[in-house]
Amino acid sequence: MSPEDGSVAGTGEFALIRRITGGRRQPASTLLGPGDDAAVLAAPDGRVVATTDVLVHGVHFRLDWSSPEQVGRKAVAVNLADVAAMGAKPSSVLVGIACPPDTPAQVVAEITDGMWAEAARVGVGVSGGDLVSADQLVLSITALGDLEDREPVTRAGARPGDVLAMAGRLGWAAAGLAVLRRGFRSPVGVVNAQRCPEPPYEAGPQAALAGATAMLDVSDGLLADLAHLADASEVGLDVQTGLLEVSTRLQEVGSALGADPLTWVLTGGEDHALVATFPPFDDLPQGWRKIGVVTMPGSGVTVDGEAYGRPGGWEHWQQ
């Protein structure tokens, strides 16, 4: 292949790396960025929060549904949300991209533009990464975070009587997916929620400062992810539907598609809202709202005090 064909093979690995890293600004916490064998990052707290996700074309995103820039933003957002869910402030992102040789170089460039743009939302940069050849497009993201001298907020600290609260929104990405699967591309706000989530990054450190006892990122569906928190904390959790927000827009989409929007809120994934538990008599931090309570061990995850009878939540190899 020649450089004129516009593919990654025609462009060449190192020319493509220069194209996607050249002229980018790094935050002060990146002491040495792309270009060497490894990046060098500052760790003021002495501890580093680390998380990684792999996104596969056709499983986690589709380029006929999303622009390359939206795909890049989504890939970074799902990882930064995990950092925030530990009560940490994001500090850096590392990127791995695998793709077929005939992938247009412009597509890879636009994906990385989206990655840089989403990282910039929280004041961090892409500190390094790798490009390799593969049979399909795969993105691997590692995000790092700084606890800023706080203890991490894990899934294991909830106590009976605590308040169950959330920050962000739920059900929008699931509604967007339902719209796309029907072959539609509007309403744009709902569809874009599936293409590129908007996690409430600041809410994680705010919850930690406010004394959150447990926290997690909702990636696979509210009830499914709450089951992980309940197991780790050895408690029950009851979601109160009267406290959940089911927006007018979701109700409109649900009516048009013959679907119950509450099901999207309870079981739909990929919004990357944060859910946390707080001591019962403390004020919730700004941006957080109560959605339920922590109950006694053995009661499981319930909805309005009852078991939820519908399946929901994402689990790989089970779909």
Binding residues for Mg(2+): 37, 51-53, 82, 130, 217, 220
Q: Is the pLDDT of residue 93 over 70?
A: yes
**With a threshold of 0.85, does the pTM exceed it?**
yes
Binding residues for ATP: 129-130, 155, 219
- On average, the pLDDT of the chain sits at 93
Cβ(310)–Cβ(187) below 8 Å: no
Across-strand partners of 290? 165
pLDDT category at 312 given cuts 50, 70, 90 is low
Give pLDDT tens digits for 185-233. Answer: 999 999 999 999 999 999 999 999 999 999 999 999 999 999 999 999 9
Give pLDDT tens digits for 144-162. Answer: 999 999 999 999 999 999 9
Q: Is the pLDDT of residue 74 over 90?
A: yes
pLDDT category at 317 given cuts 50, 70, 90 is very low
Range(s) within the chain of domains with CATH label 3.30.1330.10: 3-146
May I ask the CATH architecture of the domain 3-146? 2-Layer Sandwich (3.30)
pLDDT category at 313 given cuts 50, 70, 90 is low
pLDDT category at 292 given cuts 50, 70, 90 is very high
* Higher per-residue confidence, 281 vs 115: 115
Give pLDDT tens digits for 170-189. Answer: 999 999 999 999 999 999 99
Mean pLDDT of 72-82: 98
* Higher per-residue confidence, 33 vs 68: 68
Cα three-residue angle 170-171-176, rounded to 5 degrees: 130
Q: Strands, DSSP E only, in 135-175?
A: 138-146, 163-167
Mean pLDDT of 272-301: 96
* Higher per-residue confidence, 35 vs 145: 145
DSSP string, 136-193: S-EEEEEEEEE-TTPPP--SS---TTPEEEEES--SHHHHHHHHHHTT---SHHHHHH
Cβ(125)–Cβ(30) below 8 Å: yes
Whether CATH 3.40.50.2300 fits 163-303: no
Question: In the chain, what percentage of residues exceed pLDDT 70?
Answer: 95
* Higher per-residue confidence, 129 vs 1: 129
Tokens of 167: 């920050």
Binding residues for substrate: 60, 270, 314
Binding residues: 37, 51-53, 60, 82, 129-130, 155, 217, 219-220, 270, 314
Distance, in Å, from the CA atom of 107 to the CA atom of 89, rounded to the nearest integer, reads 30
Q: Is the pLDDT of residue 2 over 70?
A: no
Distance, in Å, from the CA atom of 128 to the CA atom of 116, rounded to the nearest integer, reads 12
Range(s) within the chain of domains with CATH label 3.90.650.10: 163-303
* Higher per-residue confidence, 178 vs 29: 178
Q: Is the pLDDT of residue 287 over 80?
A: yes
